[in-house]
Amino acid sequence: MSYLPYALAVWLLVVGLYGVVTSRHLVHLVVSLTVAQSSTYVLLLAVGYRKHATAPIFKGIPLGTKATDPVVQALTLTDVVVSVAVLALLLAVAVQVHVREGTLDPDEIPAVRG
Amino acid sequence: MSPRARIPLFLVSLAGLAALLGFGVAGLPAFGDYHGPYGLVLNQVVLGERHTTNVVAAVVFDYRGFDTLGEELMLFAAVAATALILREAREEEARQVLDAVRSEPVRLAGLSAVPVVVLLGLFVVAFGYLTPGGGFQGGTVVALGLLLVYLAAEHRAYRRLTPTAVVDVFEGGGAAAFVGLALGALAGGLAFQENFLPLGKIGALTSGGSIPLLNWATAIEVTAAFLLLFGEFLEEVMVERGR
Amino acid sequence: MIPLQVAALVLVGAGGLAVVLARDLLRQALLNSFYGLQLVVLFLVFQAPDVALSALAVGGGAAPLVILATLAKLRSREERRR
């Protein structure tokens, strides 16, 4: 039971990769990639958790209270915001593929020319 | 290789990957059994060294500020690339489309929520280094508050509220201010991105040295980046609607 | 581990599977926003309020808008081609 969060991270990555490989529509592929990305957030936060600890904010809380790790939270929070910009970029590329090739099926899109 | 033959091969390799990851993850300490040492040191030391009560904000803008610089430039690059791709292939400008929301209660409720959401976003940014919040979170909330104008009223109102020239300047300005503050420390003889302003009283808005300035630079850049992103995607939809 | 954490972990696992297995794109976009909300609860239960705030702002507003705008554009292009 104490390894459940790590197992969840592996599960989310596996499920996301399955969605990416067996996808038949580029937008479905990109959203499955989002699921695979969220596995890293879960893993990072699970590594930084301390039993019976509170959040690392010390306003009104005396110094020395048990708190979770702030470094992994800092890494994860910037990651979450930037991932949406990358999602938008991937979707813009998907729209361009539809304009050029007329289809969004990964199996039918011909290889890159030139 | 045909698609039919690809799937079993993929499932076999996926099982192998899952087994390898499971083996790797089993070597971690049990959940909740945190050994540190950086988290333990930071939690003890930040309040005295930087006078900010939000340790995560101090880590984001001060102790690991270099990573945040990289993330901000990543955001800038992703938004610039998206704008480039979408503007390059756009065949025409969106004509005047009458897509105004016609239901009066929806307009009233939506538009009266806009200043509330924007104010909430600014509050999250302003107190980001004292209580949970910060430039990234608050910047997104402010951008969503301005997007609410499109959802409650019409696209033309959103366009007029966020003209591309102004938003571009704010986005570039925010990123430049962040880099400028980091380089300014270098020019003053300190290390790159070192905290160079006087630390104030703990719990006051003027605490933290240069953390509030970096916080606001990030908030401006994130808000402008998201407004630009939303504007480009909505423009694409409106071009189709006008045909 | 407290039961709330176990419940949040199980729900996130089920939510991720649901997002990947959804074949209708509109349904997947809505499931993705719901999955974002589940992630927010998980982050909060892991005592990470800053991360929960950013995941809420992003998964509640920015990501659904970008996905739905793309779907709207693709659908009107498909309808125009026919």
Q: Does C13 touch chain B (CB under 8 A)?
A: no
pLDDT tens, position by position, C17-48: 999 999 899 999 999 999 999 999 999 999 99
The three-point CA angle C67-A88-B139 to 5° equals: 100
Span B178-194, mean pLDDT?
A: 79
Q: What is the pLDDT of residues B65-89, one digit of tens each?
A: 899 999 999 999 999 999 999 988 7
Cβ-defined contact of B57 to C58 (cutoff 8 Å) = no
Partner-chain contact A88 B229, CB within 8 Å = yes
- Maximal CA-CA distance, chain A: 64
User: Cα distance from B144 to chain C (closest Cα, Å)?
Assistant: 7
CB contact under 8 A, A81 and C77: no
Residue A91 has pLDDT above 90, yes or no: yes
Tell me the three-class secondary structure of B91-152, residue by residue: CCCCCCCCCCCCCHHHHHHHHHHHHHHHHHHHHHHHCCCCCCCCHHHHHHHHHHHHHHHHHH
Q: What domains, with CATH codes, occur in chain A?
A: 4-101 (1.10.287)
A84, pLDDT greater than 80:
yes
Q: For residue B205, what are its two tokens?
A: 């808005």
- Confidence at residue C65, expressed as pLDDT on a 0 to 100 scale: 94
Chain A, 2 to 41: residues with Cβ < 8 Å from chain C are 2, 4-5, 8, 11-12, 15-16, 18-19, 25, 27-28, 31-32, 34-35, 38, 41
Residue-level pLDDT at B189: 67
Query: Which residues of chain B have a CB within 8 Å of the CB of C57?
Result: 137, 140-141, 144
Task: Retrieve residue B184's tokens.
Answer: 């300014």
Kindly provide the ipTM of the predicted complex, given to two decimals: 0.91
Pick the residue from chain A with its C-alpha nearest to C29.
A31
Query: Is the model's pLDDT at B129 over the cut of 80?
Result: yes
Beta-bridge partner residues of A54? A67
Q: What is the largest CA-CA distance in chain B?
A: 67
- Does the pLDDT at position B219 exceed 80? yes
Question: What's the average model confidence in pLDDT over B159-166?
Answer: 90
Q: Angle at Cα C3 formed by Cα C1 and Cα C5, nearest 5°?
A: 65
CB atoms within 10 A of CB B27: 7
pLDDT at A80 over 90: yes
For residue A25, the tally of other CB atoms under 10 A from its CB is 17
